[in-house]
Amino acid sequence: MSAAPAPAWSRDILLAIACAALIVTVSMGVRQSFGLFLPPLGRDLDLGREAFGFAIAVQNLLFGLVQPFVGALSDRFGARRVVLAGGLLYALGLGLAASAQLPHGLLAALGLFVGLGLAGTTFVVLLGSIGHWVRPEQRSVAFGLVTAGGSLGQFAVVPLAQLMIGQLGWRGAMLGLLVLLLVSLLAILGLKRGAPCFAADEPGAGSLGSALRSASRHPHYWLLNGGFFVCGFHIAFVATHFPAYLVDQGLSAGVGAAALALIGLFNIAGSWMFGVWGGRHSRPGLLGALYAGRALSMALFLLLPLSPASTLMFAAVFGFLWLGTVPLTSGAVASMFGPRYLSTLYGVVFLSHQVGSFIGAWWAGRLFDRTGSYDLVWQVSIALGLAAAAVSFATRDRPVGERAAMAPA
């Protein structure tokens, strides 16, 4: 008997995926460019790295803290309204940052408003929206496509931001990114509307409260939270401090911008590939391999003599592993609990990611201001990568109903 053909991708689903990816492209691309602003902004406002790192850390923490609530709003009212509100808050934050004269103003702009805006314009809302529409066997690939948008944004927007900083100054570059963000919000018109279609044999029926109670009692759900904490730490540290680290070591600012762009370029492939692999193999096993790969790549980067070539080699490898965690982790949550409350339940996991991001952005800057070095941060990053690999290899993402059925009487 021949195998059943793979379900077709309808035109409106493909349009929704493309529009979600475009929104994530710009939103994440702008966010990943903030590390380029550290040197010129710090000189202009006389800020230490801890102060700038703290503003980005607050942004990351707020980004995570409101995700479960934003996810619940999206599950109830749809992604369009949430993305529009988040995009306007994001644009307000960029506008206020462009006019900031004091550290407190920068904290409110990049920390408060951009943090809240990011919550409505990135993965939790948009992956949850897409997850409502695609079949379970299509979901991991769809999530990989949207996640790849975040990587494309880093590849495309980071060099653009560096160019604007050189031509317009950092304040003019902030305004340029604001305009780009507002234009990208037109893509909400392509997000799918109507009644979501869930597979009859998937978990996820019942109320939001029952879904949250089920998740809170699920030990492997908490293991996913632990691994994603480490992902946040890694990404915030590298995105915020890596360009400055390279300048400290005698490389040019252009090498830092090229490294961030290369991370984005290679993660286009990485996000797509991990999305495809996640539909065929164990998602927790792939997460374990990914975290172990991060730890190994950082260790080799520190052991090799530093040069533009070694930096770009590290950026390529680390980039392939950059956001591959997103389709795998969100796919694991959907596998455990179904898509009905995916935005909410993935939002809780994403909060753990952003707590890690807060620590990675702030603590690295604080440690540098105290010691003049990032050495300890690199060492902790390697150790955390190995710990996350161990936790991920121990995780299972079987559906809740299946786990209950397999439990001993």
Higher pLDDT, 383 or 260: 383
The answer to whether the CB of 25 falls within 8 A of the CB of 150 is yes
- What would the DSSP string read from start to end of 227-288? HHHHHHHHHHHHHHHHHHHHHHTT--HHHHHHHHHHHHHHHHHHHHHHHHHHTTS-HHHHHH
Can you tell me which residue has the tokens 């409101």?
Answer: 66
Q: Kindly indicate the confidence band of residue 400, based on its pLDDT and cuts at 50, 70 and 90.
A: low
Q: Report the CATH architecture of 11-192+208-404.
A: Up-down Bundle (1.20)
- Does the pLDDT at position 7 exceed 80? no
Residue type, 343: S
Phi, psi for 367 (deg, rounded to 5):
-65, -40
Percentage of the chain modeled with pLDDT above 70: 90
What is the dihedral angle through the alpha carbons of 386, 392, 393, 397, rounded to the nearest 10 degrees?
Answer: 180
Q: Would you state the pLDDT for residue 1?
A: 43
Q: Kindly indicate the confidence band of residue 171, based on its pLDDT and cuts at 50, 70 and 90.
A: very high
Q: Would you state the pLDDT for residue 408?
A: 39
Burial class (CB in 10 A: 0-12, 13-18, 19+), 195: exposed
Q: Would you state the pLDDT for residue 127?
A: 79
Quote the CA–CA distance of 337 and 398 in Å, as a whole number: 9
Q: Would you state the pLDDT for residue 407?
A: 41
Query: Which residue from 285, 295, 156 is spatially nearest to 234, judged by alpha carbons?
Result: 295
Q: Kindly indicate the confidence band of residue 190, based on its pLDDT and cuts at 50, 70 and 90.
A: confident
- Does the pLDDT at position 133 exceed 80? no
- Does the pLDDT at position 212 exceed 80? no
- Does the pLDDT at position 405 exceed 50? no
pLDDT tens digit sequence for 31-53: 888 888 888 888 888 877 778 87
Per-residue tokens: 395: 């995780």
Q: Would you state the pLDDT for residue 406?
A: 40
Q: Kindly indicate the confidence band of residue 137, based on its pLDDT and cuts at 50, 70 and 90.
A: confident
Question: Could you state, in order of their start, the residue ranges of all structural domains in the chain?
Answer: 11-192+208-404
* Mean pLDDT (whole number) for 371-377: 92
Q: Would you state the pLDDT for residue 38?
A: 82
Q: Determine how many CB atoms are found less than 10 A away from the CB of residue 216.
A: 10
Q: Which of 76-90, 223-237, 292-306, 392-406 has the lowest mean pLDDT?
A: 392-406
- Does the pLDDT at position 409 exceed 50? no
